């Protein structure tokens, strides 16, 4: 990459062992940022990401965390600061799904998705903002979804969590925008990941039929949007939701 726009910065990326999180961690490393690769269960895959990121000449940290644990988020920010010095860029990408029609959805499936996809993101933002406010510089990028914009049948929990991320993004942007900190979101559509690879071909075909671009997106395309929002060039972009969905929403 010709320009390393994040040279000297430190980024924490959650859910970074695969898919969009992996692509984001590697893109930020290519931009010059030291990267904390946070993962939930796939330690081997996350270790590979740290090794690939380190090949860009940056420092990396491998950090496991169960973000379903209310105490884990704040601890993850503290561990990143201990390993890499601070957190300048936070990318809240970690998430899970427990799909079911609303009338059949259990309280546990609702609570688990909200805990990881929304509550943990808030806790991470709260913890990271303390250091960002002191340094008067920071970038937070929340990975929402087209499901949080238009809804998705069978995903009332996931859609609610991702919509909540958008509300969180806009509220925080107003709270901290005067201190050199921006808070934005990306809302991916149908993207080629392990999650979409597991879907039946008929589901993919129906999805492609309503995407104007006529194809699935790539994790790298989402990562490019995140990298822009984390960059100095995006200093006047705040409270924005960047749709990376091929024109779907």
- Give tens-digit pLDDT for 62-73: 999 999 999 999
39 is catalytic: no
Q: Where are the domains of the chain?
A: 10-244
> Can you tell me the distance from the alpha carbon of 68 to that of 99, in angstroms, rounded to the nearest whole number?
17
Sign of torsion over alpha carbons 83, 89, 90, 93: negative
Topology of domain 10-244, per CATH? Rossmann fold (3.40.50)
180-206 as b/e: b if 16+ CB within 10 A: ebbbbbbbbbbbbbeeeeeeeeeeeee
State pLDDT tens for residues 9-39. Answer: 999 999 999 999 999 999 999 999 999 999 9
Mean pLDDT of the chain: 95
Instruction: Return the axis-axis angle of helices 72-84 and 120-135, rounded to nearest 10°.
Output: 40
Which pLDDT score, from 0 to 100, does residue 202 have? Answer: 83
Task: Write down the catalytic residue from 56, 158, 181, 231.
Answer: 158
Percent of the chain's residues with pLDDT above 90: 90
3-state secondary structure of 73: helix
pLDDT of 224 strictly over 70: yes
pLDDT of 195 strictly over 80: no
Find, among 234, 143, 139, 238, the residue nearest to 189 by Cα. Answer: 143
Percent of the chain's residues with pLDDT above 70: 99
The pTM (predicted TM-score) of the whole model is 0.95
**Confidence bin at 208 (pLDDT 50/70/90):** confident
State pLDDT tens for residues 118-174. Answer: 999 999 999 999 999 999 999 999 999 999 999 999 999 999 999 999 999 999 999
Task: Find out whether 198 and 173 touch, Cβ atoms under 8 Å.
Answer: no
**Confidence bin at 114 (pLDDT 50/70/90):** very high
State pLDDT tens for residues 78-108. Answer: 999 999 999 999 999 999 999 999 999 999 9
> Can you tell me the distance from the alpha carbon of 120 to that of 9, in angstroms, rounded to the nearest whole number?
23
């Amino acid at each position: 990459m010709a320009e390393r726009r994040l040279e000297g910065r430190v980024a924490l990326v959650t859910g970074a062992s695969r898919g969009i999180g992996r692509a984001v961690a590697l893109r930020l490393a290519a931009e010059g940022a030291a990267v904390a690769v946070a993962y939930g269960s796939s330690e081997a895959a996350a270790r590979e990401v740290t090794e690939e990121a380190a090949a860009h000449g940056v420092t990396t940290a491998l950090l496991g965390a169960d973000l379903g644990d209310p105490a884990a988020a704040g601890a993850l920010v503290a561990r990143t600061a201990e390993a890499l010095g601070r957190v300048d860029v936070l990318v809240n990408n970690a998430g899970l799904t427990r799909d079911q029609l609303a009338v059949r959805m259990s309280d546990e499936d609702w609570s688990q998705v909200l805990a990881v996809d929304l509550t943990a993101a808030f806790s991470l933002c709260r913890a990271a903002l303390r250091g960002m406010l002191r340094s008067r510089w920071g970038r937070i990028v929340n990975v929402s979804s087209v499901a949080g914009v238009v809804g998705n049948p069978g995903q009332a929990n996931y859609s609610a969590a991702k919509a909540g991320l958008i509300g969180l993004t806009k509220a925080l942007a107003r709270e901290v925008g005067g201190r050199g900190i921006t808070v934005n979101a990306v809302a991916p559509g149908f993207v080629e990941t392990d999650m979409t690879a597991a879907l039946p071909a008929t589901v993919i075909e129906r999805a492609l039929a309503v995407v104007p671009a006529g194809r699935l997106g790539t994790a790298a395309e989402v990562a490019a949007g995140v990298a822009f929002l984390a960059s100095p060039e995006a200093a006047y972009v705040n409270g924005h939701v960047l749709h990376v969905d091929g024109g779907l929403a």
